[in-house]
Amino acid sequence: MVSTDNLTTYLLEVIQCHLAVTSALLLIILAVIRWFIRDSHKVDGFNQKHVFITGCDSGFGNLLARQLDGKGLRVVAACLTERGAADLAALASPRLKTLLLDVTDSASIGGAVEFVSKEVGERGLWGLVNNAGRSVPVGPTEWMKLEDFTKVLDVNLIGVIEVTLQFLPLLKKAQGRVVNVASILGRLSLTGGGYCLSKWGVEAFSDSLRRDMHHFGIKVSIIEPGFFKTGVTRLDLIEADLRRLWTRLPQEVKDSYGKTYFDDYVKAQGFSMGILCSADLSKVTRCMEHALTARFPRTRYGAGWDAKFFWIPLSYLPSFVSDFVTNLFLPSPKDQRNV
């Protein structure tokens, strides 16, 4: 028979266990409620806040410019081409201003700062969105030359750094926001070339900038999109540049990959993009908008279901796991040697 003392002790342990579980659940629920309430608080005075966005010819930048313009913010949209600027202006209100900008040209950036400075006056610049970017050249590392890396790094990383540095005085006036577009490829490198390198660099630059600018009231957020249908993922551009890289390779290098490797690689790119790419760009621009308008913006925004539930979790797993998974997306060279 079980003694009364033992039964009492057992019942007390059961009650304590239930209380601990209940308390933990209540804390979790309260934390979730607090997070959503905190997440929903917005800043005020949209019509007095200026936002400068790079890369607005198409894609995320174009949609964000129109989205913020519709909310009443004062948008200055930077485009690379006159046609891009004209097409955007035709779709927006008279409040939205456009200008031409090459983020690899210091003089062009300086001209943009001068233009924006006149627009914002003493209020300063509320938001800077570093969105401009390019993907090609991209492909196997051995196919690259140094200039192939720098073509991408100059836009995606050095351009982001220089634009930010030149606009910081205006951002400090407004105690504003910097929103930098990185990528899930800034967490998990899938291909060679400058794209992944540049996005890892954007992550590091944004982290250091956030810590430094915290003292001046400037908040810095990083957007980490998964795969979306934009100019960066255009298969015709990627395939054309891959063919350029392949064509110039020495014959012995081509032989090491095999006769069918190029075609297999292009097919793999098309298959992956077809499965992964989302056409709903608003999944990204909603994150950008939140980073600019929320009273308590997040440090990082994973944008897209593939980013949140596949790529970002995969980036935290051991390297041998992520290597195995990423290798599934690409063909193997003919002359492979497993060590």
Q: Which residues contact 176 (CB under 8 A, 6 or more apart)?
A: 124, 125, 126, 127, 128, 170, 218, 219
Say if residues 202 and 184 touch (Cβ distance below 8 Å): no
> Phi first, then psi: what are they for 42, rounded to 5°?
-115, 155
Are residues 68 and 88 in contact, defined by beta-carbon separation less than 8 angstroms?
no
- The answer to whether 265 is a known catalytic residue is no
- Helix ranges (H only) for the chain are 4-40, 59-71, 82-91, 106-120, 146-153, 159-174, 194-213, 235-247, 251-257, 261-276, 282-293, 305-306, 312-315, 319-327
Question: What amino acid is encoded at 213 in this protein?
Answer: M
Which residues pair with residue 219 across a beta bridge?
Answer: 177
Annotated catalytic residue, options 195, 261, 265, 301: 195
Longest dimension (CA), the chain: 90
DSSP bridge partners of 192: 139
Of 254, 151, 138, whose CA–CA distance to 192 is shortest? 138
Catalytic residues: 195
